[in-house]
Structure 1
Amino acid sequence: MEFLKSAVASAISKGPAFGYSLGDRVDLSDSIWALHNGTKKEDGSKCSVFVFDINTNKSRLPIAKNALRKWRTLRHPGVVRVLDTLETDTLIYVATERVVPLGWHVKRNALNTETIKWGLYTISTTMRFINEDASSIHGNLRVSSIYTTESGEWKLAGFEVLSSLKEEDPAIYTYGGLLPDSSRYAAPEISRSGWDGLKNQAIHVTDSWNMGTLIYEIFNGYFTSSDQLTQAKSIPPPMAAPYKRLTQANPKMRLPIAHFLEQGKRSGGFFDTPLIRCSEFIENMGVKDEREREEFLQNLEDTKDQFPEEFFKAKVLPELLKSVEYGGGGPKVFSVVLMIAEKLSDEEWETEITPAVVRLFSSPDRAIRVFLLDNLPKMIDHLSKKVVSDSIFPQLVTGFSDVAPIVREQTVKSILVIINKLSDRQINGDLLKYLAKTQNDEQPGIRTNTTICLGKIAKNLGGHTRSKVLTAAFTRSLRDPFVHARNAALMALAATADVFDETDCATKCLPAICPALIDKEKIIRTQAQKTLDVFLARVRTLTANMPDSALPPVDANGLPNAAGVGGTGAPRMGTPQAESGWTGWAISSFTKTLGSVTGEMQPQGSGVSTPAEENGNTLGLAPPITSQPGNSSSRPGSSRSASASDLHRQAMSNPASPPKKSNTSSNNNFMMDEIDDDDMDAWGDMDDTPKTVAEKPKAVAASRNTGFGKTMVTEDDVINSFTSKPKSALPKGLGKKAPTAGLSSTAVKSSKPAVSRAVASKPAAKKPAPVKPKAAEADGDAWGTDNWDVDWK
């Protein structure tokens, strides 16, 4: 075999150019032709090449040339299709479509009954054409003359003695005996009278006999004598009677193949099968109406397991694709296409289905678009990233703006399928732009699905846009009037909590979630609680390793220690664990701090003398303050020093006595220096109703209206300054200048006229410009407008 193959290749190289290359030999021995697999040199497409070696078969050269001549001119769907031929002095080549001998399947018993019926129907149709339309005799109808294509169809060849009775010298009469194993397949009349005896017989007699032998061999295997043909054996009962008429010894009683075909095609006949009806319909699908097409598709789905896979792939699939694209087949036809495509390899998918899918996405037919989007999960694994991003996505996004809601909704859902095959530019650019549009869609279902889509593709978004986009999208959905849209936003937030940092969790997500806790719908309240728990856990995790304080260490005098050593580093407020009541810790911390403070209290830079200085310490406050070591400033003329603990003991020992003169501004600065901004923010949000002046002892209330503007700062005042809310809803800096921190509004109002009268009666002594404590500056900034610039809508 290798020698023959090399000889053939050598002959081809020496002879005229032949555009096909030979591969392995695949034929059987009972033919004059050597069959090779081949490829077309131009494009590498598959083919088969029949080769006749003249040097080794010179006696059969006449029938080889007759076959070549008939093959070139005979055109019929049931005939092996010829691509090209070449005749040299030593070889004859016939390049055809890719085929394999039917004998392969017969010897392996690999054919089922339905497939055999379909094949016999095809051969009978071809033979009717040869006998009746072409007025010819085939004369070589046997298993070795039949081949199967890649679609599973049976095709006829073996035209060595094909003869037309209109010819002057038909080849069959002269060369019929040159056929391999001719005596075994010869009809009884030929065995008796030779091939010349056919001149006195009807045109169909020898082919009808051979049709009978073909049926026998396909169902029962090869026979050795004509006596075996009388036993039907495995031939299907409906076909048994016509078979016996085909193998009648008397040629005049022999059934023509055309009549055999007609009997089989009758309703309920042996050729009335789903597979045969399907093949017939496929051939004429372009001229069928919609009702007939729907009936065919239904039958095809019901009987798909009876069909050879090759038939579906190579025969049905191309015709269905033509019907979808050009024949108005629509989604129903394409559903059958996908059913067949499930059995295709990736290479076959890319060749057969992908080009059609790309073309269909550009179709304006909404039914086709919806079907494609709905079935995209079945196709996406077979579509390359380049095809999706370059060809499908630009067409798919047009659905976001379609007037039909079903198209917009299916387009949103399809994003989850193709997201992994899009580029970063497409995801963070075009896609987010379209999703922002659908999140404001008039259809609540589309808004809901958009939120779900964003939650599911969060990992695919760019790091610089993810948090911003998701926060804006989900908080918007939380305000949606559609309950399922709000629920989707809460679930999406819970699912994507890990993409937010601690700042976004605390300042954006949690404030947006909290209103849902009191939603009118229970489903929202329940989900809001779950989502809130997720974010609280997220915040705890993110802040677990944060330092206890961002403030620098302080030394023994309470001043910042830049070196970070030598100071206590202790917080300025105590801890609540050691106290019994919820207010006890604040009071005790305040008193403990007062007892440990030393040094002079700093005057405020108001440019106005304090009442204590003007009245010579006549209201029972602490003695005049003198300069202490370590203090940065002192008051001239003062002779005594007052400690903070003395001030506290005096205030606690006589709470009902009229308030004594005090440096209100200094006290206030002290308190502001001792309380963290975070504490004030936390307490200031509470809704507790503060005590009013009328609820306090009358003596204290009266002392605040003495006309001197001298107010004693008590412990109640400190607590009230934390818990009470200002009358104005505006934070400090947005309205009138806020009163000094640490004083109630009543005290501030009562102090203003007294200070004015004091200034009028006695000019202020010229003093050095005071230095404003840093703690007071920090506290004042903390209540500025910047920290209130939050959109709570």
Structure 2
Amino acid sequence: MDYLRTLGSAAVSSLVQKSGLNLPFTLAGKVDDGSNEIWSLYDGTKRDDGSPVSVFEFDANSSSKRNLIPLAKNALRKLRATRHPDVLKFMDAVETDTTVHIMTERIRPLKAALQTWSSKSQREREEWLLWGLHRITVALAFVNGPCASTHGNVRVQSIFISPSGEWKLGGFEALSNHKDDMNGYYVCSSSLPESMKYASPEVKKGGWMVLKDHDPGVLDSYALGILLNSLFNPSFPLPPTTDPPHPPPPASSQGAVPSALFPSYKRLLNPNPRGRLTSKGFLDLGMAETAGEGSGFFANNNLVKICAGLDNFNLSSDTEKSTFLRRVNMSASSFPPEFATGRVLPSLISALEFGGASAATILPLVLQMGKNVAPADYSTQIITPLVKLFASPDRGTRMALIDHMNEYADKLDKKTVTDKIWPNLQTGFTDTVAVIREATVRSIILLAPNFSDRIMNNDLLRHLAKMQSDPEPSIRTNTCILLGRLGPNLGYNTKRKVLVPAFSRALKDPFVHARVAGLMAFMATIDCYEEEELATKVLPSVSPSIVDKEKLVRDQAFKAVELFLKKLESYVATLVCCLPLLAQDVNI
């Protein structure tokens, strides 16, 4: 017996506990609807890291399932050995004489998803079905081609949906390689529930042994045609070709099958196995870019194009990247939610790591799609990857992060800003490119609420002091404006040491707007100065601006002086009230 590590049912859990083994997962609720006669499907979590998984449970302790043991064990053996992006991802398993438990990536049955999509518009549903059908066809072409095997169980119950919305091929109970274990395949196929219902005409006529003389994919191709009918025409009966004398599908059986797909659909259901379209041929027709009857139905699908663009993004030219990103932007609102957040979003974030000119276009898309991420997951899925990007040396990425900081700054916490963003962000103050230095200055006001006292009153001010001498006048101006906005939040001693010298320097700047910014900063921080300081330091610094050669500066200077004098007049009034008492004391 192969006692591995994954068990699910109460009986098997008890057995494992007695043997001293630790279960690597915990089970949650049962998620299947009972339509699968072999497996029970459960949600679960990995014990070591808490990540979500799914667990398929087979328990033959009931006599009704005793004859299905070979199917369950074959499914485990084949799924363990078959690795492909469009095949259900195997993670762990345990089997005993009468039980099999398989742990996979978290999935849900296609049947449940079909019910959800039944309420969508015909166009949305058709696009989604074609995309899913494309993924299953790719998986089948792999099984029938490089694996030289027959899947033998292609039906709705064998397909599952990943958290990213992608269709995954499972149901490996009858999968067999013709060269290795064809005899076992006959046994497995005949034991499958409803096996003859989905069998091809040649099997119904000559039995399962007849498949030995044909290509490994003839049975699967026929089943793919039946699956196609089930997806687009769920209320229709099986096509007439499934019953003797197995006539080809008539035009009246098209139903909701797309017109571009119908010719290939008929070829999949060809009663003659030698003339039947293979899964590889079906895939090639669907991906053909030349116009023609019965071709291009996959290549023209928007979701298929998006997936292909994501997979090839880093190898594309700048022009191709720009075109693709425009497509994503235009169609993002129509994406299935799980596809947007689970497939598109991670790929775009990954593309950001490579930087370049595309960063400015990608980041807005990331933030737009991120709005659909659950609040509990936003930090992990959006904030964590973005924070890592601050370490990127690519200037395009840095600029994109800063330009759109207002869209995510409120989601940042103090520890993240202090420990992860600031150490990388501050390098922007000394960047040789002026636009980076200026963008860094502008970003500070959004992050300041999460700065530590050390950063706010020491590190940052040292950088800003240098920025006031920057060769670029706009940087000097923005630095003064920033200091004016930060002033009220500085420490008491820091205010007295820094603000008046900084703004006084701005008033002597040759750039007119820098001088205006200095005056406005003095006004904005009026409450930071004690009255004596206002009279002895601020007013003397401001008064020369009254005769500045620029009218814009003079006008602002008069406003500043007027504001300061009003505050001083109010203060002096309190001093006047004390004079009679002072005089009385003197006479005495």
Which category of TM-score, normalised to the shorter sequence, fits these structures? 0.7 to 0.9
CA shift, 1:291, in A, is 4.2
Does the 8 Å contact 1:376/1:414 carry over to 2?
yes
CA distance in 2, matches of 1:546, 1:234: 90
Partner of 1:233: 255
CA distance change for structure 1 residues 6 and 414 in 2, over 3 Å: closer, same or farther?
Answer: same
Matched, 1:173 2:186: yes
**Residues 69-468 of structure 1: pairs in structure 2 closer than 5 A:** 69-110=77-118, 112-221=125-234, 223-227=236-240, 231-267=253-289, 269-272=296-299, 273-325=301-353, 331-332=359-360, 334-335=362-363, 336-468=365-497
CA shift, 1:419, in A, is 0.3
CA shift, 1:248, in A, is 3.2
Structure of higher RCO (CA pairs closer than 8 Å, 6+ residues apart) = 2
CA distance change for structure 1 residues 317 and 554 in 2, over 3 Å: closer, same or farther?
Answer: closer
Does the 8 Å contact 1:38/1:46 carry over to 2?
yes
Matched, 1:29 2:42: no
Letter paired with 1:13: Q
Partner of 1:526: 555
Which of 560, 565, 576 is the aligned partner of 1:536? 565
* TM-superposition CA deviations, 1:590-648 (whole Å, max 9, x none): xxxxxxxxxxxxxxxxxxxxxxxxxxxxxxxxxxxxxxxxxxxxxxxxxxxxxxxxxxx
* TM-superposition CA deviations, 1:706-764 (whole Å, max 9, x none): xxxxxxxxxxxxxxxxxxxxxxxxxxxxxxxxxxxxxxxxxxxxxxxxxxxxxxxxxxx
Does the 8 Å contact 1:106/1:221 carry over to 2?
no
Does the 8 Å contact 1:361/1:396 carry over to 2?
yes
1:237 counterpart SS class: coil
CA shift, 1:528, in A, is 2.2
2:134 counterpart SS class: helix
1:147 counterpart SS class: strand
Letter paired with 1:52: F
TM-score (norm 1): 0.66
Matched, 1:10 2:14: yes
CA shift, 1:14, in A, is 4.0
Does the 8 Å contact 1:286/1:327 carry over to 2?
no
Letter paired with 1:295: T
CA distance in 2, matches of 1:535, 1:340: 49
Does the 8 Å contact 2:356/2:396 carry over to 1?
no
Partner of 2:3: none
Letter paired with 1:42: D
Which of 561, 578, 581 is the aligned partner of 2:587? 561
* TM-superposition CA deviations, 1:640-697 (whole Å, max 9, x none): xxxxxxxxxxxxxxxxxxxxxxxxxxxxxxxxxxxxxxxxxxxxxxxxxxxxxxxxxx
CA shift, 1:388, in A, is 0.5
CA distance change for structure 1 residues 175 and 408 in 2, over 3 Å: closer, same or farther?
Answer: closer
After TM superposition, the structure 1 stretch with the greater mean CA deviation from structure 2, 474-483 or 309-318, is 309-318
Does the 8 Å contact 2:325/2:362 carry over to 1?
no
Which of 49, 53, 57 is the aligned partner of 1:47? 53
CA distance change for structure 1 residues 310 and 107 in 2, over 3 Å: closer, same or farther?
Answer: closer
- Percentage of pairs with the same residue: 40
1:303 counterpart SS class: helix
Which of 511, 526, 529 is the aligned partner of 1:497? 526
Does the 8 Å contact 1:412/1:453 carry over to 2?
yes
CA distance in 2, matches of 1:164, 1:222: 34
CA shift, 1:256, in A, is 1.7
CA distance in 2, matches of 1:552, 1:352: 69
Does the 8 Å contact 2:355/2:394 carry over to 1?
no
Which of 70, 79, 99 is the aligned partner of 1:62? 70
Letter paired with 1:282: L
CA distance change for structure 1 residues 203 and 390 in 2, over 3 Å: closer, same or farther?
Answer: closer
CA distance change for structure 1 residues 549 and 65 in 2, over 3 Å: closer, same or farther?
Answer: closer
1:299 counterpart SS class: helix
CA distance change for structure 1 residues 489 and 168 in 2, over 3 Å: closer, same or farther?
Answer: closer
2:197 counterpart SS class: helix
Does the 8 Å contact 1:346/1:382 carry over to 2?
no
CA distance in 1, matches of 2:357, 2:184: 48
Partner of 2:4: none
Does the 8 Å contact 2:390/2:401 carry over to 1?
yes
CA shift, 1:124, in A, is 0.7
* TM-superposition CA deviations, 1:24-55 (whole Å, max 9, x none): 11123232111111111111111111110121
CA shift, 1:495, in A, is 2.3
CA shift, 1:420, in A, is 0.3
CA distance change for structure 1 residues 543 and 186 in 2, over 3 Å: closer, same or farther?
Answer: farther
* TM-superposition CA deviations, 1:489-539 (whole Å, max 9, x none): 222222222332222222222333333233222222222232233223322
CA distance in 1, matches of 2:235, 2:195: 14
1:534 counterpart SS class: helix
1:47 counterpart SS class: strand
CA distance in 2, matches of 1:66, 1:165: 14
CA shift, 1:339, in A, is 4.0
CA shift, 1:69, in A, is 1.3
CA distance change for structure 1 residues 97 and 333 in 2, over 3 Å: closer, same or farther?
Answer: farther
* TM-superposition CA deviations, 1:61-87 (whole Å, max 9, x none): 111111111111112111101011110
CA distance in 2, matches of 1:407, 1:236: 52
More helix by share: 2
CA distance in 2, matches of 1:266, 1:7: 52
CA shift, 1:462, in A, is 1.1
CA distance in 1, matches of 2:282, 2:307: 19
CA distance change for structure 1 residues 192 and 28 in 2, over 3 Å: closer, same or farther?
Answer: farther
Structure 1: 5+ residue runs without aligned partners?
A: 563-793
CA distance in 1, matches of 2:535, 2:355: 60
CA shift, 1:352, in A, is 3.8
